[in-house]
Every structure is written in C-alpha cells, then in structure tokens.
Amino acid sequence: MKTIEFESQRVSLWYFRLALVLFILQVIMGLWLSINYAFTLPQELVNVFPFSTAREIHTNTLVAWMLLGFMGGTYYILPPECDRELYSTKIAYLQLIIFVAAAVTAVIGFLFGWTRGKPLLEIPFPLNALIVVAALLFIANVAMTIIKAKVKTALQWMLLGGVTFLALMYLFGMPFYRNLNTDYYYWWWVIHLWVEGAWEIVTASIMAYIIMRVTGVERKVVEKWLYVETGLFLFTGIVGTGHHYYWIGAPDYWLWWGGIFSALEPLPIVLMVVDTWMHVRERKNPIVNPLTWYYIVGLAIYHLVGAGLWGFMHTLPPINRYTHGSQITVSHGHLAFFGAYALLNLTIFYFAMPRLKGITKYHDTAGRWGFWITTIAMFMLGLVFGIAGILQTYLERFLDIGYSTAQQTMMFWFRVAFGVGLVFLGGVLTTIWHLFTLKPSDKLAPEEVVVPPAANI
C-alpha cells in the first residue's frame, strides 16, 4: 500500500530528524539550568559554562527545533494539499543546510561568547542574515508550489500567510535600538507576535490538515473553524501584545488594551478544543494509529490550560504587576510552549514519519509510554515552577526581601524541578527512540477516507 502521495514529501524527513536531535539538546540544557537554581555551584565551574550561555542554548534550540518541525510539516502536507510535487526539493534541502549551519554555528558561538546578549534573540547579525536567506527560500518554495497548483484551498493560503508573517516579524528583532524601551517594544513584536500570531496560524493550518486525514471529517467543516480560529487569534493576539507593554514605559492605555485583549486570548483556544471534540463526534475514519490522536487531544487540552487559562490569569494588569518576570512566567512559558508547539511538532512527526517509512500501522507501546511520561512530567514541572513563582512573588515583591535571600527559600522547589526534569528527559528519549525505530504492526490497518484537495471548491 502506498503511504505517501508524492515523492517530494520525503524532504521533510530530515527536518524531523534534526528537530528531534535539537529537542534532546534543549531538554539537557534545561536540566543544567535547574541545577544552577537548585544548588550552589563552584565558581570555577560557573566561569567555564555560565548560566547565561546555557540559557541561550536552551531557548534558541527551542526555537530552532520548533521551526524545523513547522517547515518539515509544511513540506509534508503541501504536495497532497496542492495535488502536485513541491516546486523544488533542491531549494528545500539548500534551505535546510543553511538553517542548520546557522543554528550549529550559533550554539558553538555561544560557548565562546559570540552573542548579542538580547534575550531569546542572541544570535549575531551575520547568522541572522543566513536565517533570513533560509526563510526567504522557504517562503519562495511554498509560494511557488501553491501558485502552480491547479486547485487552490483556504488552507494553502492560510499556511502561506502564516509562514510569511513568521519571517516578517523576525526582521523586527534584528536591529538593536539605543533606547532600551524602544528595543523591548519591537522585541515583543518578534517574541509575542510569533508565538500568538504567526505560529498560531501555522498550527491551525497544519492541524486542520492532519485532523482531516486522521478523522476523515469534511474539508468545509475544518475550514470553517480555521477561518474563525485564525481570525480570533489575530484579533486577540496582535492587540494582546499590549500585556507586554505594561512596565516598559509605553503609554498607560496599554494597561486597558493589553488587559482586555489578553483576557480574550483564551477564546480561540477554547474554540479549538470545541473544534477537536466536534471532530471526534463527526469523524468518518477509523483511528488507525491512536497515538496520533492522543497527541491531537493532548495539544488541545494543554494549549487551553498552559497558554490560555494560565496565560489569562498571569497577564491581567493587577496580577502581572507582581508576577511579571517571576518563576510564574517560567511556569506559563513551559506549559504553553510544550502544549501549543512541542505537542504540535510531535503530532506532525507521529502523523508523517510512519508514512515516510512506508508503515501504515505501527507498534505504539513505547510511544504511549513516552506520551504519558512527558505530558505528566511537564504538568508537574509547570506546577513546581508555579509554586516557586508564588513563593518568589510573596518574598520579593510583598515582603521586599532581596533576590539572593529569596532564592535560598526557593532552592527546594528547584531540586524537585530537577528530579521531574529527569523524568521528562526519560519520556523525551523514549519518544524519540520510538520515532526513530518505528516498526510495523502485524494487525491489518483499516482504510482511511482520503480527503481530496479543494473538495469544497
């Protein structure tokens, strides 16, 4: 049985493999950061491998493996969605080489102090220029594939809009402004508008395609929700950027605008959960590999709790005044990134990698262990960071106790976080080992209902 429709879909496999390698590196760096918080390390060791370097590698590998997953996922779904091969597999491989070369050079450069020192955007300008070249190649390849397609769908254009928006926003993080307030103003255009704008559109587009293929639900049903969710994400996400302007010298009206629109941000996520539930009820396909469906449902729930509810509580001005930049932010960040985007990438990998290997149904016992260990461990990690953050807020911002003294009280919770992090690493390694060694199952897989491109046009 043929498991992929177009040969050019195979280009995505290397994107997935490299993303998974970076995922491991990101988690290891996270564990090292928790050790820094949990124990008093010898100064000689801190001098050799500073906290700031580990943090740079932790956050930048996060962004890199997310982007590799999005790009690979786009290259996997685009040929069947457009009913033609990719415009150019050579461009796709060239783009991958440039992107990975820039990412690896950046990590090595961080070890030797080659950094801009701008949080989350530490990559020096020459490497940023290479990433822009890779992004332009990606957009050109995606755009040409869609333009040359005989059929056009809303999903194609939504995906193209998302990746273009993503590349455009990155440009605002490249200059360094002399005024720190101005610099942070535009810094949030990258950090926030990526996460709650461009990435959400890409997520909605890719998930819409996977849900159609996994459940067999009609295209018009998925596209209807795609319009609604994307519109709401843009509506609430763009103005909701204002909740980052509270304390950087921006005008006072951002307290109102940021507060109101931040409060509305969970709305599209709630709709996404409702949407997923409706797909369960309306699905026509038998679920061939339940693990993919676990990830789809897990993404919806985690997205709601981590990004939606936890973000909602944290960004209201009266609360944010005290919790801003504390470990509560760390808790929200871990739950939101894992729930919204790490689970998206893993959904893509579990949907696409078996097909790329010619497997219709696979043994999923190890994969299920990996899913439950990582999701439960990340929930516990978010909880522990949240407790540490509440403690930090009370000690530092209500009792006015200094950072170093408050840190002594919080060390216990970081030791707990380190233990939970080790469990999480075990889940990640189990998942990645399973993905790299997928074996076909002896059980006969039921036939999927194939969703044709542009079926509603």
For 37-81, write each residue's pLDDT tens digit: 999 999 888 888 999 999 999 999 999 999 999 999 999 999 999
Q: Which domain holds residue 389?
A: 287-439
Q: What is the pLDDT of residue 450?
A: 58
Say how far apart CA 349 and CA 168 lie, in whole Å. 26
Q: What is the pLDDT of residue 45?
A: 87
Please count the structural domains in the chain: 1
- Residue 379 covered by a domain: yes
Q: Give, in order, the Cα–Cα distances in Å from 266 to each of 11, 60, 231, 374.
A: 35, 26, 13, 24
Q: What is the pLDDT of residue 273?
A: 67
CA atoms within 13 A on the CB side of 432: 18
- Residue 362 covered by a domain: yes
- Residue 213 covered by a domain: no
Residue 414 CA from chain centroid, whole number = 24
- Residue 304 covered by a domain: yes
Q: If you average pLDDT over every residue of the chain, what do you get? A: 88
Q: How many other C-beta atoms lie within 10 A of the C-beta of residue 405?
A: 11
- Residue 361 covered by a domain: yes
- Residue-wise pLDDT for 322-344, tens only, equals 998 899 999 999 998 998 899 99
Write down the pTM of the prediction.
0.92
Burial string for 242-262 (b: 16+ CB within 10 Å, else e) reads bbbbbeeebeeebbebbbebb
- Residue-wise pLDDT for 394-423, tens only, equals 999 999 999 889 988 899 999 999 999 999
- Residue 306 covered by a domain: yes
Q: What is the pLDDT of residue 452?
A: 57
- Residue 387 covered by a domain: yes
- Residue-wise pLDDT for 162-186, tens only, equals 889 888 888 888 888 888 888 888 8
- Residue 404 covered by a domain: yes
Q: Are 84 and 148 in contact (CB under 8 A)?
A: yes
Low-confidence ranges of the chain (pLDDT < 70): 1, 266, 269, 272-273, 276, 279-285, 444-457
Residues of the chain with pLDDT > 90, as a percent, come to 51
Nearest to 127 by CA among 177, 190, 64: 64
Question: Residue 72 is which amino acid?
Answer: G
